[in-house]
A = this chain, B = another copy of it.
Amino acid sequence: MRAAAPDDAHLARLGQQLRVDAVRAADAAGSGHPTSAMSAADIAAVLLARHLRYDFDRPDHPGNDRLILSKGHASPLLYAMYKAAGAVDDAELLTFRTRDSRLEGHPTPRLPWVDVATGSLGQGLPIGVGMALAGKALDQIPYRVWVLSGDGEMAEGSVWEAVEHAGQERLDNLVLLIDVNRLGQRGPTRLGGDLGAYARRLEAFGWHTLRVDGHDTAAVDAALAAADATAGRPTAVIAGTDKGHGVAEVQDREGRHGRPLPDAEAAVAELGGRSELRVDVAPPPEVRIRRRPPAQGHRPPVFDRGGQTATRDAYGRALAALGTVRGDVVALDADVGDSTRTEFFGREHPGRAFQFHIAEQQLVAAAVGMASRGWNPFAATFAAFLTRAHDVIRMAAVSHAPIRLVGSHAGVSIGEDGPSQMGLEDLAMMRAVPGSTVLYPCDAPQTARLVAAMADAPGVAYLRTTRSATPVLYGPEDAFPIGGSRVLRSSDRDRACIVAAGVTVHEALGAARLLDREGIAVRVVDAYSVKPVDARTLQQAADATGCLLTAEDHRPQGGLGDAVAEAFSDGRPAPRLVRLGVRGVPASATGAEQLHAVGIDAESIAAAVRLLVAEAMVSP
């Protein structure tokens, strides 16, 4: 079956080599976590030489197993494996942690064999769940997903969201390897070396568990074989190990986390000296990528101009339509599909709809895993609850993962449910994500267009939707490119420009009508693309009017007001700016009462414009 399966003695020597190379890499760098690599080296040796199926020349081979080093700080172990597999050479190994090296402190997809960045603990398993789901339900290819995890990170709730989901979905293509070296960063882990404690917990969630001595290569080999042979449930191999195994000065000792060995040369000698064993990693099976062919001639949903439709409804309908023309689109829900309208997609494309229950970290991590397999995931929940997944989103950006997130029930306009349900920080969170696209439509046709556009965005794309119905302003012929905006009112007499997005676009138009009656002409810009923002249109408005006012159903920090200010943060002369947003903690009230109370309804906007224009007249 596989080329040159090494014997146990060879495996033990390979394990030592991985340790030696991890020690050398960290020593060359002057930093890093060699002791965390050393504990898992024998597990890694067995996996690489006997179980992994992977073509290092073709990292995009659809049949490749997936390997996630969830304990990303053990990166020198991963790089030593790559070297043993012939994928990197010794010279590159010793570039570890230096500028421009692919071998970063924690693994990132700058290396073609790394699917997703790790280093924020507890994310490997939930992402692996996404990959394993893709393997079973979407690709339908028998690759296996191996997640090598530390013991300390088992304290993260994200891990237990994944444990629960993998158990329920019976993901027998997923194997969790837990390196129980009993020592965390500042001392013993919660459970220490109690392998049974991990086993009891995982079994309670429906997992198959195996306990082994993680330095007994034959035992590890048997456990991985048993894991591979297990059908109907995921397997966890719980391996008791020593941190810093093989070097007496550091082995199983506290205070040795995250630093090179005191005497690398002596350590290498104690580990048996350098070796250059090469592993012929077993190739993946020949398989074919499976994508549903797109349907022809399907049209996006149509909305009547002058009617009223909630943008969340438009999202659901547009996503369902997009799913018909694009076979790569999948939809992910966290028990709120009836609110976000993700359920519209599920009705039409049940094979590509995934339910994660109330577990937002798993929701987004699964999207990352599926995206890494070439699928185009749209994950939606309330905008407020996407904050649960903030760290997963942050890491998705480090991975350059093309995922699409949708936050519904944005802002105070949701009304009576109160502040716990209001997404008021989501724009700030999503704008600060590097390379992100942030969209906030005000009506249904715009939403539909943006849903289609975001499917091709390069990184993390975010769409913000509104609970209540809003008037349909645009027609099916209107285009809304990412980075654009729409000037909804303008004249050569404009004395200020109101910049709005989403629900406040309608309030801004109302304000403009109120002001018009008083003879104050104002421009209104619909800044549906909050990032990238349409700097040029804003700069033109500033040149024409000298006064900009932003109104957003969001905190004054980090959202639309900040985006507009950033358009003038390149040293150019800046206009007068006023930003209206939600200050303080709102309470329950109707949507209209809320908008008025926080000062972003038409009347409040008009009042602020009056003040701004008056000030500009006094000191132009």
Q: Which residues of A contact B (CB under 8 A)?
A: 29, 31-32, 72, 97-101, 103-106, 108, 110, 117-122, 152-153, 155-161, 164, 168, 184-187, 189-190, 200-201, 203-205, 333, 335-339, 343, 356-362, 384-385, 387-388, 390-391, 394-395, 397-398, 400, 415-421, 424-425, 428-429, 431-435, 531, 547, 555-559, 561-563, 565-566, 568-579, 583-585, 587-590, 593, 597, 611-612, 615-616, 619
Q: Is the CB of A425 within 8 A of B435?
A: no
Q: Contacts A98-B589, A155-B357, A428-B558; is A571 near B565 (CB within 8 Å)? A: no
The answer for the CA separation of A45 and B161 in the assembled complex, in Å, is: 32
Known pairs A99-B593, A425-B432; A185 contacts B394 (CB<8 A): no
Chain B CB within 10 A, most for which of A99, A339, A578, A588: A588
Q: B residues within 8 A CB of A339?
A: 185-186
Given contacts A428-B558, A569-B578, contact A98 B186 (CB under 8 A): no
* Residue in chain B with minimal CB distance to A431: B557
Contact A358 B578 (CB under 8 A): no
Cα distance A119–B164 in the bound complex, in angstroms: 23
With both beta carbons as reference points, the residue of chain B lying nearest to A117 in the complex is identified as B420
Q: Find out whether the CB atom of A418 lies under 8 angstroms from the CB atom of B577.
A: no
CB-based closest 4 A-B pairs: A157-B157, A119-B420, A558-B558, A160-B160
CB distance from A467 to the nearest CB of B (A): 12
Q: Are B588 and A418 in contact (CB under 8 A)?
A: no
Find the B residue at minimum CB distance from A577.
B569
> Is there an interface contact between B568 and A574, defined as CB atoms closer than 8 Å?
yes
In the assembled complex, the CB of A429 is this many whole angstroms from the nearest CB of chain B, namely 6
* Complex: chain B residue closest to A201, CB-CB: B204
Chain B residue, CB-CB nearest to A335: B184
- Contacting residue for A160 out of B110, B157, B397, CB 8 A: B157
- Measured CB to CB, the closest approach of chain B to A542, in angstroms, equals 10
Assembled-state Cα–Cα distance A615/B190 (Å): 58
- Are B434 and A584 within 8 A (Cβ)? yes
State the Cβ distance, A26 to closest chain B Cβ, in Å. 10
- B residues in contact with A433, CB < 8 Å: 425
Contact of A164 among B155, B358, B579, B616 (CB under 8 A): B155
* A–B Cβ pairs within 8 angstroms, 15 of them: A104-B418, A106-B417, A108-B419, A110-B587, A120-B420, A157-B159, A157-B361, A184-B358, A185-B335, A390-B425, A398-B585, A424-B432, A565-B566, A565-B569, A573-B619
B residues in contact with A583, CB < 8 Å: 434
A160 to B619, CA, bound (A): 59
Whether the pair B576, A571 counts as a contact (CB closer than 8 A) is yes
- CB-CB under 8 A from A425, the residues of chain B are 390, 394, 429, 432-433
Q: Is A557 touching B561 in the complex (CB atoms < 8 A)?
A: no
| Sample of 15 more A-B contacts, CB < 8 Å, known A105-B420, A425-B432, A561-B566 | A105-B418, A108-B585, A155-B335, A155-B357, A156-B157, A156-B358, A157-B359, A157-B362, A201-B201, A385-B391, A429-B429, A432-B559, A556-B566, A565-B569, A565-B577
- Asked if residues A168 and B186 are in contact (CB atoms below 8 Å), the reply is no
Chain B residues whose C-beta falls within 8 Å of the C-beta of A572 in the assembled complex:
576, 615
Contact A432-B72, Cβ < 8 Å, known A108-B418, A358-B153: no
Point out the residues of chain B lying under 8 angstroms from A388, CB to CB.
Answer: 120, 156, 158, 390-391
| Complex Cα spacing A562 to B164, Å | 40
User: Do B384 and A120 have beta carbons less than 8 Å apart?
Assistant: yes
Question: Are the C-beta atoms of B431 and A588 separated by less than 8 Å?
Answer: no
- Are B385 and A387 closer than 8 Å at their CB atoms? no
| Residues of chain B lying within 8 A (CB to CB) of residue A398 | 419-420, 585
- Complexed CA–CA distance, A359 and B571 (Å): 43
Q: Assess the B547–A571 pair: CB atoms within 8 A.
A: yes
- Chain B residues lying within 8 Å of A335, measured Cβ to Cβ, are 152, 155, 184-187, 189
- Once the chains are docked, how many angstroms separate the CA of A358 from the CA of B123? 12
Q: Which of B359, B431, B576, B577 contacts A155 (CB 8 A)?
A: B359
A605 to chain B: closest CB distance in Å? 13
**What's the least CB distance linking A116 to chain B, in Å?**
11
* Separation of A253 and B42 alpha carbons in the complex (Å): 53
Known: A105-B417, A358-B156. A435 touches B585 (CB 8 A): yes
Chain B residues whose C-beta falls within 8 Å of the C-beta of A157 in the assembled complex: 156-161, 359, 361-362
Bound-state CA distance A187–B357 (Å) is: 10
B561 & A558 in contact (Cβ 8 Å cutoff): no
Measured between beta carbons, the chain B residues less than 8 angstroms from A562 are: 557-558, 562, 565-566
Of A121, A156, A565, chain B has the most CB atoms within 10 Å of the CB of: A156
Assess whether A558 is in contact with B101, with CB atoms less than 8 Å apart.
Answer: no
Pair A117/B432 contact, Cβ less than 8 Å: no
Q: Which of A104, A424, A555, A575 has the most CB of B within 10 A?
A: A104
Q: Cα distance A416–B563 when bound, in Å?
A: 31
Residue from B184, B434, B531 in contact with A585 in the complex, judged by beta carbons closer than 8 Å: B434
In the complex, A370 Cα to B168 Cα: how many Å?
Answer: 35
Kindly state the separation between the CA atoms of A433 and B391 in the bound complex, as whole angstroms. Answer: 17
A338/B186 contact (C-beta < 8 A), A419-B117, A420-B118, A557-B562 known: yes
Measured CB to CB, the closest approach of chain B to A553, in angstroms, equals 13
Give complex CA distance A105, B417 in Å: 5
Q: Tell whether A566 pairs with B557 under 8 Å between CB atoms, given A185-B335, A588-B105.
A: yes
Establish whether residues B168 and A161, one from each chain, have CB atoms under 8 Å apart when the complex forms. no
Question: Distance (Å) between the CB of A168 and the closest chain B CB?
Answer: 6
